[in-house]
Chain A
Amino acid sequence: MRPRRNAISTDTGRWLTRRGVLGLGAGAAAASAFGGRQALASTHLTIAAAANLRMIMPELLASFADTNAGMAPRVSFGASGNLARQIVQGAPFDVFLSADRARVDIVAKQQPGLKRATFAEGRLALLVRQGLRITASDDLSGLSRAIADGRIKRFAIANPQHAPFGMAAQAALETSGVWDGLKGRLAFGENVAQAAQFVVSGNADAALVALSLAMSPDVASRTTYAAVSPKLHAPLKQEMALIRPDKPAADAFFAFMLSAPAQAILAKSGYAGANEG
């Protein structure tokens, strides 16, 4: 009796699956036919970039276009952990610029032989909202006093669960002994740019974010910041991975990130170079 029942239910299952696929197929085929989006997608260079690169990406892309015209790169920003998960789940990214090594490891586990390289070392900065004064020092002692006398009501960091800059921020706060004092006052940004945005909009009093974000004119004009000593956390070795080695544009961008022009932009924007530190 049992095998027969199983056979019937598997058949039904298959039928339902096939019907489902056909239904989905009709909708998606309509989408593809309307406007030939697929063809468009294949000529683009699609880059997944950690949120700390957000403000310097336009400059990097402009420099890339000097030698590689007509490749029309488009960039999706996010926390490295989320981007790595999306790549593993089949997201159509050609190059992955991560904020650390561990997130590239996740992709490498699925794609053995993945071409990867360190392109920069990230640094943290203490970002303080307009109208609030915290003595700038790279060991966070000014922050410690501000927490003690109640001037910090909301402190933002990127979510340490999936954002490398959030992990580094947590480590730096722990090393300098202020982590416990911030309990109940922390706000987690989905990625490091959102953590910075909380301070720019005045909704958080201060944040530990990427130095590159703090230095960018849009942020620096509306906040104050101080670079944090890299000794307070494990080094943020930022790695990139070539997800689609078959795409010439992807290969070209991978090489570009290690070239002198790209490294010069990174060096003046709050990063230590690929081979320093």
Chain B
Amino acid sequence: MPADATLTSLWLAGLTALVLIPVGVAAGRALAMNDFPGKGVVETLVLLPLILPPTVLGYYLLVALAPANPIGQAIAALFGGSLAFTFEGILIASLIANLPFAIQPIQRSFEAIPENVREAAWVSGLSRLQTLWRIELPLAWPGIVTAAALVIAHTLGEFGVILMVGGNIPGETQTLSIAIYDRLQAFQEREAATISIILLVASLAALAVVHATTGRRKTRGRGA
């Protein structure tokens, strides 16, 4: 099993989840609890990466990161070099591609919290922050766990945009999904098969986590 690709994949999945889960909680809660003009547009934009072909995202990222472009120049000045074909580059791609997986489940779980539960908390003397921490987050927890599992599983599996933005550089941008493609072309079917089984098991594990947490929410709902 390729240690380099495993490490790259785990870093990418871990960092993507670490950055996106707080974003998902903030954005998901804001979308669930507020109505504002243009909300439909925001929700559409959040969902876009789910439908958008990864190659389209890859194309626009390459255009944006290119040294010929003002954004690319600003980034190059900031980091001392272009981010295309670097780990940081595929991290940016991964953050955008995973936005819907982070926000959607969390938004749904905040929407499922009845308004009167929060009102009851305030009447009982809890501040808004305490209400968030002690009432809302525990109730939204299944959505947050689901989001984390989906983000990690989806990051491990992402292929098109990573290949386009990252190239196929071992130890830098070669993730496990890319390694399958790479090993097959090196006529190392056995190694490709090993990595494939690992990713299959990881996907099943992520779905099991989702199933277990959403299942628990249902029974709890019935009891209440």
Contact = CB atoms under 8 A, between A and B. Distances in A.
B26 to A, nearest CB: 13
B10 to A, nearest CB: 11
A91 B182 contact: no
Interface stretch (A30-38, A164-172, A233-241): A30-38
A87 to B, nearest CB: 9
Interface stretch (A19-27, A63-71, A112-120): A19-27
B79 interface: yes
Given A24-B75, A91-B85, A200 B170 contact: no
A32 B15 CA distance: 11
A41 B172 contact: yes
A202 to B, nearest CB: 12
Interface string B179-190: 000101111110
B84 interface: yes
A191 B167 CA distance: 14
Contacts of B65: 89-90
Nearest to B168: A76
Given A76-B170, A89-B66, A28 B71 contact: no
B171 A74 contact: yes
Contacts of B81: 90, 92
A219 B189 CA distance: 12
B15 A92 contact: no
Contact of B171 (A31, A44, A218): A44
Contact of A21 (B11, B78, B169): B78
B106 interface: no
Interface in A236-255: none
Nearest to A192: B185
B55 interface: no
A197 interface: yes
A32 B86 CA distance: 11
A90 B79 contact: no
A27 B92 contact: yes
B31 interface: no
A197 B21 CA distance: 40
A32 B172 contact: no
B101 interface: no
Given A24-B75, A89-B66, A92-B85, A197 B185 contact: yes
A77 B185 contact: yes
A194 interface: yes
Interface in A243-269: none
B71 A74 contact: no
B54 interface: no
Interface in B82-128: 82-88, 91-92, 95
A17 interface: yes
A34 B15 contact: yes
Contacts of B84: 86, 89-91
Interface of B: 11, 15, 18-19, 62, 65-67, 70-71, 74-76, 78-79, 81-88, 91-92, 95, 167-172, 174, 182, 184-189
12 contacts: A25-B78, A28-B79, A31-B87, A31-B91, A46-B172, A74-B169, A90-B85, A92-B81, A92-B85, A197-B185, A197-B187, A200-B187
The 3 closest A-B pairs by CB, nearest first: A90-B82, A91-B85, A28-B88
Given A31-B88, A37-B87, A77-B186, 15 more contacts: A17-B70, A21-B74, A21-B75, A27-B92, A28-B88, A30-B15, A31-B15, A34-B11, A74-B171, A76-B169, A92-B81, A92-B85, A92-B172, A197-B185, A200-B187
